[in-house]
Structure 1
Amino acid sequence: MDLDLVNMFLIAGGTLAIPILAFVASFLLWPAALIKVYYWYWRRTLGLQVKHAESGGYRFCYSYRGKPGTRPSILMLHGFSAHKDMWLTVVKYLPKHLHLVCVDMPGHEGTSRTCAEDYSIEGQVRRIHQFVECIRLNKKPFHLVGTSMGGNVAGVYAARYPSDLCSASLICPAGLQIPNESKFVKQLQELQATQNMSGIPLIPSTPEEMEDMLKLCSYVRFKVPQQILQGLVDVRIPHNDFYREVFLEIVGEKSRHSLQENMHLITVPLQVIWGKQDQVVDVSGATVLASGVRGCRVDLLENCGHSVVMERPRKTAKLILEFLIAQQDSSSKKIS
């Protein structure tokens, strides 16, 4: 989710008293609605359009900008309990001529919610491949980007469907057997020891729990107003049972180490971006991928936690572009 909420106040900028008062009233009384307006506003500002794709009775929701061109298209996979709009901060710093696609992961936001089988990592990989074929994104090899849970899915996708891709970028990906335990993993172990999985730190149900989650995920300390914290919780609460189902599936035996088990099959050029202060998935996972995938490029970010996309969006966009250009230059030299 996008934490740069200061931009919301631009919506009311330069207007007369009545619209400003309406904005203030919305901020105080309907923060959840205001957050939705915020995402709509920035999608519109950045030139993103929302579309749906139907395939075999399954519905995908995605946003896109641009058309396929000389540069590879970029498909972005978000993390657990997020949605396609979490990429807005990065999209802001990507050239407008690039063809970008941000899809809601299975069951999230506007994409069909079905059963646990679809929420395992293998299930999500199958669904994302279904989406790619549905919109014919793989007509030409594209670049795949994924963060956290989406990074796990992106890595396994690269192993399963190498001909679809020209390259991939994994941002703080889950799914690895990591040498060092993170703060989040230790919290989970405590919950498992008490057999109480109702207090999962990534599934907040109060403003206070939301604030704790933001502190866990971010090294940068965002000052988020109480009303916005309440709005973020209000948006999530109706979906918390679903999030719990997904979470238990991706940390279960079948999915917990999916990327670890498949990384030896990754043959496309791979980039790994990781925040050094990640408290959710420890940065030592970068070493695991570097040693397991030949030629893997690793970019570690100082003073950055798990929420790389929100903490360092400009840097993230820059690193992805540099990697893409380097791969294209390398391919051109091989051809010549």
Structure 2
Amino acid sequence: MEVMSTVVQLAGGAVLTTLTLAIYVIYIQPIYIISFFQSLNRWRSGCTIKYVKVGECQFAYMERGQPSENQPSLLFLHGFSDRKESYCGIIMHLPKHLHLIAVDLPGHGDTGIKAKADLNVEAYAAKLHQFVGEVGLDRGRLHVIGHSMGGGLAGCYTATYPETIWALTMICPGGILLPDKSVMFEKIAQGNKHVMIPETVEQAEEMFNIVLHNKSLIPPKQVLKGYVDYSKPYRNFNQQLFDAMLEHGQDGLTPYLGKITAPTQVIWGRHDKALHISSLDVMKKKITASLQVDIIEDCGHTVGLEAPTKVADLLLNFRETVYNK
């Protein structure tokens, strides 16, 4: 009885401690909420964090599974100001036997970038090619998948280094001059140049209203504060990169579309307010490779967050289609 009483007291103390810690994190240091869920999602996806030196730059990446002769590896490229963990929701719904890598692009997440580095898509593609060689992805067939800025990079990379590319998936890709102006570009035209780089909770809420169609997924204000605090160390670089994309890369993917030879899939959220779905009209005219277009209804720009199961199913269906051709 005495032992049981002690256990109950300890349990009660643990609950109180946990509650106190939760209150501290949520209201005093909400930045830790972001780090916690990133770690949780990595664990749930079964990925392991690894690092590799590529010239002067150390790349951070997540990996799951082993390369296979029968199944091409998958390389995931995230979007602007994002990081490798953004693919965890999709990866959770992919078969465990598939070998995959999700990488932090230079200047993002835990991957560094040298001062005054070139920020155009060609420079990023060249650096990515070095990474691919260092981790051995060039030894077998490769399925490259990119979202938003990463989608534009994936298209450029596939067109520039086609030797081992088995298939390409671009999700709401950037780098195409939009026939119809999106909400994001309307705000940029109105003078809100860095609408995607929030410095306050209110600006973060505005950004999430652009990228999410399902408004119930917009985080509460304390989590948004954590996001703003978490993003602060990246803010100057993100502003430089976004300025470079506006100046040089707003139409950076278009010249490469006709050079893509690998089977290509384009996935787009019907209600994308960051990059307008009308870009599909340009892609259909320019891409001469076999093309599969998949539109996700009731979905915005962040399809990996709004419809991870659907995206995983579409990826697997596309892979099956390529195999059967």
- Alignment match, 1:158: 158
Q: Following superposition, which runs of at least 4 residues in structure 1 exceed 6 angstroms of deviation?
A: none
- Alignment match, 2:247: 252
Alignment of 1:302-321 (within 5 A): 302-321=297-316
How far 1:42 sits from its partner (Å)?
Answer: 1.9
Matched residue SS, 2:151? helix
Q: Max radius of gyration: which structure? A: 2
Which of 266, 288, 303 is residue 260 of structure 2 equivalent to?
266
- Alignment match, 1:9: none
Query: Is the 1:106–1:118 Cα contact (8 Å) retained in structure 2?
Result: no
Distance in 2, matches of 1:204 and 1:237, equals: 9
- Residues 1:171 and 2:171 aligned together: yes
Which of 227, 236, 240 is residue 232 of structure 1 equivalent to?
227
How far 1:144 sits from its partner (Å)?
Answer: 0.3
Query: Is the 2:41–2:89 Cα contact (8 Å) retained in structure 1?
Result: no
How far 1:120 sits from its partner (Å)?
Answer: 1.3
- Residues 1:277 and 2:254 aligned together: no
Distance in 1, matches of 2:115 and 2:284, equals: 34
- Alignment match, 2:52: 53
Query: Is the 1:116–1:249 Cα contact (8 Å) retained in structure 2?
Result: no
Matched residue SS, 1:297? strand
Query: Is the 2:197–2:238 Cα contact (8 Å) retained in structure 1?
Result: yes
Question: Which piece of structure 1 moves more, 121-130 or 111-120?
Answer: 111-120
Matched residue SS, 2:114? coil
Alignment of 1:128-167 (within 5 A): 128-167=128-167
Matched residue SS, 1:107? coil
Cα deviations by residue, 1:223-281 (Å, 9 ceiling, x for unpaired): 4221101000000122211100010111213x221210111100000000001111111
How far 1:24 sits from its partner (Å)?
Answer: 3.4
- Alignment match, 2:91: 91
Distance in 2, matches of 1:141 and 1:258, equals: 26
Matched residue SS, 2:240? helix
- Residues 1:217 and 2:216 aligned together: no
Distance in 1, matches of 2:90 and 2:27, equals: 29
Matched residue SS, 1:119? coil
Q: How well do the aligned residues superpose, as a CA RMSD in angstroms?
A: 1.5
5+ unaligned residues in a row in structure 2: which ranges?
Answer: 1-13
How far 1:34 sits from its partner (Å)?
Answer: 2.3
Alignment of 1:31-50 (within 5 A): 31-50=30-49
Distance in 1, matches of 2:80 and 2:187, equals: 17
- Aligned partner letter, 1:293: I
Cα deviations by residue, 1:194-229 (Å, 9 ceiling, x for unpaired): xx74xx110000011001100011111024221101
Q: How many residues align?
A: 309
Matched residue SS, 1:111? coil
Matched residue SS, 1:251? helix
Distance in 1, matches of 2:302 and 2:41, equals: 19
- Aligned partner letter, 2:38: Y
- Aligned partner letter, 2:120: S
Distance in 1, matches of 2:218 and 2:108, equals: 26
How far 1:303 sits from its partner (Å)?
Answer: 1.1
Which of 285, 291, 297 is residue 292 of structure 2 equivalent to?
297
Distance in 2, matches of 1:186 and 1:146, equals: 24
Distance in 2, matches of 1:219 and 1:131, equals: 34
How far 1:47 sits from its partner (Å)?
Answer: 1.4
Distance in 2, matches of 1:324 and 1:33, equals: 37
Question: Which piece of structure 1 moves more, 174-183 or 110-119?
Answer: 110-119
Distance in 1, matches of 2:134 and 2:212, equals: 35
Query: Is the 1:51–1:62 Cα contact (8 Å) retained in structure 2?
Result: yes
5+ unaligned residues in a row in structure 1: which ranges?
Answer: 1-14, 331-336
- Aligned partner letter, 2:296: L
TM-score after normalising by structure 2: 0.91
Distance in 1, matches of 2:52 and 2:40, equals: 23
- Alignment match, 1:3: none
Matched residue SS, 2:275? coil
Matched residue SS, 2:143? strand
Which of 203, 217, 221 is residue 197 of structure 2 equivalent to?
203
Matched residue SS, 2:253? helix
